Structure 1
Amino acid sequence: MRYHSIILTLGTLAMGTTAQVSSEGSAIFQLSNDTEFAFMLGATLSLSNNFGANTGEVLRAASQIIPGDFESWYREFIFLANQIHDKAEAINAKRFPISAREAYFRSATYYRAATTFLYANISDPRIYSVWNSALKDFDKAISLLPVPGERVNISAENFTVPAIFYSAQSSMNTPGNHRQNPFNSTKRPTVIVGNGYDGSQEELYHTFGRAILDRGWNFISYEGPGQPTVRRQQGLGFIPNWWEAVTPVVDYLTKRHDVDTDRIGLIGYSFGGTLAPLAASREHRLSAVMAIDGVTDLFGSIQSQFPSNINSVFESGNKTEFDTLLLSLVDNTAVPTQLRWAIAQSLWAFDTTSPYEWLTRLREFKVDQAVANDIHCPVLVNEGEDDSLAPGQAQEMVRLLGRKATYNLFKTDLGAGEHCQLGAESQVAQVAFDWLSDIWEGISVPHIITGGVY
């Protein structure tokens, strides 16, 4: 989810400085004076809201990590992951399934976190081995849910979509579910959730999954090309025709006996706020889309903040000069962590060694008027008040969609102003899922949500 950093540090090139970007004015207390480390730590800490981490564990790691030192980051999180994994393994899961499940969820999170800054060297074997450890522990955790999560591999055009289906059966007896889920108790509404630039489908269980299941709905996460497991296991970078990843998931859901096919929603998280609308422009069986947050043109936002000399090199088509310039920054420890990570992560996710090719391909990911016209369902567009990723683009998406869109601005003074409302997931769930309930019940929805309460 954390592609915000691409934008935040490009200005340092124009100023000719290698200093860390200041965190002054940030809405959230910084856990490191390295702003990228601080954001990543905050992202990991936010999973504590739904059993994906523990605050004390993350805060202790934060206290030991050396700002800007990638190996220091890895060392602290692999230590934490291994220690919590060992605790999980020592628990008698048959007698104490909840204890074991929660420990495995946390160790999986910390294994994923440990890989965050490894991508400058794509031959590093830890990129794969540590991720495999994360998958194994996550699978152990979801096997201990009241109704175990079900991993499925869905055939798509020239690739496979890995997905995890979570049945709402365990939530159907929760008090109040008859009000939140007044639909057929056998075939239930289902929410598809996809992540963005670097986030995994596993973390989505903690971000959205529990809130979806608590409402008596099914939840399915998935990954497409460029996203963590597909990139590792199938060697595929991002594709702009994102419907090729989503349509097979919808096909799969239509074959299940427990899915109400008239009530299938799609969430796109972070860069998924571009990917989900792109998918919905071709996949018309969706009853609603939620762009959290709405981004129409990430390339345009990046380019607008490039210094003019960098833009000139890129637009001239001088691939060699542009690649040399950007690649020289990745291993330069005097360059801000945000920019080093952004370039390395982007090259990895697009499966290329060329920054010029990355940006040229990113240019194809755009929600324009033609795309908006081809979206036939209601769309919720979120924006964080303090998110500087793509200023004005959430509102632009609303303008393109017209009356099909509902817009909500999450406020900084309530701790929800960060990119994707990081750390305020309950506020997102309240707005998004109350809106979705009305869509599914045929109740008129507003064009603008005021006050952050739907």
Structure 2
Amino acid sequence: MAYRFSTNDQFNYEVLLALGSAWQRGADVGEVLTAASATADADAQTWCTTWSTLARAVRQQGERSLAGGRTISARDAFLRAATYFGTALVSVDACADPEELLRELFAETLDPPAERVTIPYEGASLPGYLLSPPGRSGQLPTVIANNGSDGPISAAWTLLGAPAVARGYRALLFDGPGQQSMLFDHKVPFRPDWERVITPVVDFLLARSDVDPARLVLAGISQAGYWVPRALAFEHRIAAGVADPGVVEVGESWWPRLGPDLRALWESGDRETFDHVVNGALGADPAAASVWRWRTKPYGVDSPYDVMVEIAKYDLMPVVHQITTPLLITDPDGEQFWPGASERLYEALPGPKELVRFTESEGAQLHCEPMGRAVFEQRVFDWLDTRLAP
């Protein structure tokens, strides 16, 4: 079954993600389809304008509801607005006010409200939210929701946090290096050695009296399919992990789009010619240039050659033998960014592992199962509940 809402592959996928988030109240189907119709053949500017305009309108409705004491309506509106602002971020370089797209209001209107937290990190801090199930107290299992390369924190909520809290877990949402506020506000780029991020997160959680130290989960979406197992190779205080999907080498999602000739040129070490060819191609294709800027910004380097050098560092194979934490890996039909990587990671893991298929016949295909969220939650959290049973 093919879903097609835009001639632009990335835009089309973002529409699928937005529709899927409706399962956890992160979008309204009618709002998404209306915006998708207006952006079917859109350029970056039209995409950003359409989705950010929708987001502002929904946020304003939430503010009116909140002013009138209607907190449930406000909560739902703020969460939808966060989703739509995040969708607009795909074309961040075409947005007039990209900082506006980073504001999150939904967490404060949850019941109970999310607790803003500050996680000590290398002399500075990582911002986040800790969310708890209503009516539950004491030490609870906790899911660390590790976002991907470009999603807003509201996406970590709808994809991982909300289903965790609904099942009695606490959920920690945070921005790591290169993600959202850490990138745009603090100019901190990605890093391949993600254990340097997760170990401070674990230290922070274990210092709390309301977190069960024996039932910590590290779950990641999209590019966090690399970061989660990378962290687990070094951080062994986590009881179980989830990689959605499995990623062995982050660069495997880049080279098919660049082609074998450019790869050969890069491998030759001819930096000047590589940069000249790539920059020339981007100059002739504004749409491709917009995607390139968006994808490369979190790596913190400008030269195309140096970007690929940096991405080559994101390789699990040198440390995969150190992973002993039980790890669930999703394997959806039609995985478009890292095809085959989930199975490759599964085969390489030495410890307890499970490869969970998501198929087109059940509507749960494609990267991060955008239209199969109920199926995802059932399989993944049933597995976690079994693993973490007291």
Q: TM-score, normalised by structure 1?
A: 0.81
SS where residue 402 of structure 1 aligns? coil
Question: For the residues of structure 1 that align with 2:257 and 2:78, how far apart are their CA atoms?
Answer: 41
Look up the match of 2:244.
292
Q: What does the per-residue CA deviation read over 1:55-99, in whole Å, with 9 as the maximum and x for residues that have no partner?
A: 111111111125241111112112211211221121145631101
Aligned residue number for residue 206 of structure 2: 254
- 5 Å-filtered alignment, 1:193-342, equals 193-300=145-252, 302-303=254-255, 306-333=258-285, 337=287, 339-342=288-291
The within-5 A match list for 1:399-438 is: 399-438=347-386
Say which of 74, 78, 82 aligns to 1:104.
Answer: 78
Structure 1 unpaired stretches of 5+: 1-26, 173-184, 443-454
Give the Cα–Cα distance (whole angstroms) in 1 for the partners of residues 146 and 352 of structure 2. 21
Distance 1:326 1:187 in 2: 53
DSSP 3-state at the match of 1:117: helix
* Cα displacement (A) at 1:279: 0.8
Cα displacement (A) at 1:113: 2.0
Secondary structure at the counterpart of residue 185 of structure 2: helix
Check whether the contact 2:130–2:172 (CA below 8 A) recurs between aligned residues. Answer: yes
Measured after TM superposition, the shift of residue 284 of structure 1 is 1.0
Shift of 1:298: 2.1
Cross-structure match for 1:175: none
Q: Using the alignment, how far apart are the partners of 1:321 and 1:187 within structure 2?
A: 57
The AA in structure 1 aligned to 2:108 is S
The alignment yields a C-alpha RMSD, in angstroms, of 2.0
What is the TM-score when the length of structure 2 is the normalising length? 0.94
Task: Kindly indicate whether residue 365 of structure 2 is the aligned counterpart of residue 395 of structure 1.
Answer: no
Larger relative contact order (Cα-Cα within 8 Å, sequence gap ≥ 6): 1
Deviations 1:175-222 (A, max 9, x none): xxxxxxxxxx61000000111111122211111211111111101112
Aligned residue number for residue 384 of structure 1: 332
2:295 matched to 1:346?
yes
CA contact (8 A) 2:141 2:170 kept: yes
Q: CA deviation at 1:301?
A: 5.0
Provide the secondary structure at the position in 2 that maps to 1:118: helix
**Aligned-residue offset at 1:403:** 4.5
Paired residue for 2:97? 126
**Partner residue of 2:120?**
155
Q: Which amino acid aligns with 1:198?
A: D
- Decide whether aligned partners of structure 1 residues 289 and 158 sit closer, same or farther in structure 2, where only a CA change above 3 A counts: same
Residue of structure 2 equivalent to 1:35 = 9
* Alignment-derived partner of residue 179 in structure 1: none
Written as runs of structure 1 = structure 2, the 5 A alignment for 1:170-181 is 170=134, 172=136
State how far apart, in whole Å, the 2-side matches of 1:126 and 1:321 are: 35
Question: 1: CA distance between counterparts of 2:257 and 2:32?
Answer: 33
Which whole-Å CA distance do the structure 1 matches of 2:6 and 2:258 have between them? Answer: 26
Q: Is the contact made by 1:171 and 1:214 (CA closer than 8 Å) also made in structure 2?
A: no
Displacement after TM superposition at 1:327 (Å): 2.5
Structure 2 equivalent of residue 78 of structure 1: 52
Q: Deviations over 1:309-355 (max 9, x none)?
A: 2122211222222222223343544x7x4x44542222211122111
Counterpart code for 1:162: P
How many residues matched? 390
Assess if the C-alpha contact under 8 Å between 2:51 and 2:84 holds in 1.
Answer: yes
Partner of 2:313: 364
Matches of 1:248 and 1:202, distance apart in 2: 22
Query: Secondary structure of 2:248's match?
Result: coil
Note closer, same or farther for the CA distance 1:249–1:300 as it changes in structure 2 (3 Å cut). same
Q: Is the 8 A contact 1:197 1:227 kept in 2?
A: yes
SS in 2 for 1:116: helix
The alpha-carbon distance between structure 1 residues 171 and 49, as it changes in their structure 2 partners (threshold 3 A), is farther
Q: Which amino acid aligns with 2:29?
A: T
Corresponding residue for residue 69 of structure 1: 43
Counterpart CA distance in 2 for 1:354 and 1:232 is: 19
1:423 Cα deviation from its structure 2 partner: 1.7
